[in-house]
Structure 1
């Protein structure tokens, strides 16, 4: 029996706009994908917060989470994540307590430290909040947790403010990270941790293993739970997967050079006039995406699980073709029923 067969699979979807498509289409497809993976038996479905990116339709993970919860039956749904520097902690507490009240036991609150956008847009998001312009993530996180526990100091001015609904606790907290900071902080606080390997520059083993080794049990979580987020393109054959992944390669190439346009089609990717420098950049980028047929993908996932000791895999598949994306998640889930030996 392989590790993959016993490891929960989850989904991260960013509501990517595709070439020739629209924002509303991207949002509808996110909800449809959630229905699809819910029926397949995936563990959870997370949506992200990004701003001022033409390729990403949603900057409101709380709104999208509510829509997805209403459209699904079983799967856990949440934010991957709410970018806490952009929001008043009280507002985050209110919105996610409402979701938890409506869908008890199915909501996750994933929190990120980055603004999820460029500097100017970040300023626009925060300009009416009276805060230090520096990194105040930890202060905001502590405040959010106090809104949940109510354990304010006796002389704190917020002590008598009640977060409604008052008889509902916040859903489980997860810290998201692409460096070692969130891994260490998650371990110290005793909450879940999700590492974004699909774009992180930090060493994945350091982040995942340091979280597990440093974890301190808390009233929120008794044992560590580390999610590894990976970009995966799975198709019936290696050749078809490579064709589909052309969209991923060109999109990453353009994004790394400041062009955040819609996801190109495989045909657009095949026709693009790549330079040798472009092709070298794409080869390096392939270290962040697992591409292949079922056998190749299964072997790759097993290697990640063996090395990182991940408790859960969260898959993102930024493909142009929605039918191919659905099929990729079908093939991944089927690997658990009849896993291919690595």
Structure 2
């Protein structure tokens, strides 16, 4: 149960919210994701994940299972999946059917990251779950156990669902991972032998302690016999200081909008106006250690140092920005810094 060798580059992956910046359509946002996943595949990135969010006009990721099928069809080597599927919103049987179908279409390339948050507000969660009992239930462990049994056909003989089969029948299974932005998700992963994915981009102050506890408490099981840690981090490599400053300001503005209840993503012009405001000046210091943006070597060094501290085996980049050219350039720069092997 050892951590990766300090100072060494890790595999890189990418998390996509499928942002729809102001002035853009959802179709244009999907086209941006198509270009991004193809670039990531070509450059040698390990995974490309889609998030699940609902009732949010600035995101086009309400149905990650559909987007996964589409994006995987445009690529050849990169793993494509969800980070994650918010399991309380769905029937475990239906999730198993979605991901068995995806695995049938793209064997050996599908990831299923699980989350227990709703990915939305309470009213929308109620609309998704259709009952007050489902909205207030705290039965994630039971749901996860059912999902694992449906994926593996591993029911106890006396279980009432033993006669129910999640189809299609496939020879391979999606990789199952547990997401979290607190200690709960990594603790659940540890006791169930799962890979843990920690959202440093959401809770940077909790990441290191939670991930160290995961390695300490890990128990081998049917889902894995060794601990594996993935950490998701806000990062953009660029030679242009203005692009780096826009990225930092853009994340701060997005968080300000979410706190105010707004569901739109800012445009480049809105980000640049905010960047010059007293509000951004007040919050900019809080981005230190949370947002990695700047020269490629500096960003890479910061990500490796964080991965060392957290004992992370893999780093997932989070780069929400309306500047697609900057995002694609960052993928190239960091692929070089981390020594990724191109495909094709």
TM-score (ref. length: structure 2): 0.91
Shift of the 98–83 alpha-carbon distance from structure 1 to 2, 3 Å rule, reads same
Which residue in 2 is equivalent to 1:309? 311
Match of 1:230 among 230, 233, 242: 233
Q: Which runs of 5+ in 2 are unaligned?
A: none
Match of 1:268 in 2: 270
Structure 1 residue aligned with 2:178: 175
State the 1:54 CA deviation: 1.4
Task: Output the CA distance in 2 between the equivalents of 1:280 and 1:109.
Answer: 38
Q: Give, in whole Å, the separation in 2 of the partners of 1:30 and 1:280.
A: 32
Give the TM-score, by structure 1 length.
0.92
Task: State the Cα deviation string for residues 103-133 of structure 1 (Å, max 9, x = none).
Answer: 1111111000100000000000001697472
1:302 Cα deviation (Å)? 2.2
The structure, 1 or 2, with the larger RCO (C-alpha pairs under 8 Å, 6+ apart) is 2
Summarize deviations over 1:190-211 as a string: whole Å, max 9, x none. Answer: 0111000101265111111111
Instruction: Please give the root-mean-square deviation of Cα atoms over the aligned residues, in Å.
Output: 2.1
Instruction: Report how many aligned residue pairs link the two structures.
Output: 336
Name the structure 1 match of 2:52. 49
Deviates more, 1:182-191 or 1:199-208: 199-208
Question: Partner of 1:220 in structure 2?
Answer: 223
Partner of 2:34: 31
- Structure 1, 247-256 or 137-146: larger mean CA deviation: 247-256
- Alpha-carbon distance in 1 for matches of 2:31, 2:131: 32
Instruction: State the distance in 2 between where 1:288 and 1:273 align.
Output: 17
Unaligned segments of structure 1, at least 5 residues: none
Distance, in Å, in 2 between the alignment partners of 1:273 and 1:337 is 33
- Decide which moves more: 54-63 or 290-299: 290-299
Q: CA deviation at 1:249?
A: 2.6
313, 333, 336: which is aligned to 2:335?
333
User: Residue 244 of structure 1: CA displacement?
Assistant: 4.1
Secondary structure of 1:80's counterpart equals strand
| Corresponding residue number in structure 1 for 2:18 | 15
Deviations 1:301-332 (A, max 9, x none): 12202211100000010111111111111111
Q: Confirm whether residue 67 of structure 1 aligns to residue 70 of structure 2.
A: yes
CA separation in 1, counterparts of 2:275 and 2:112?
42
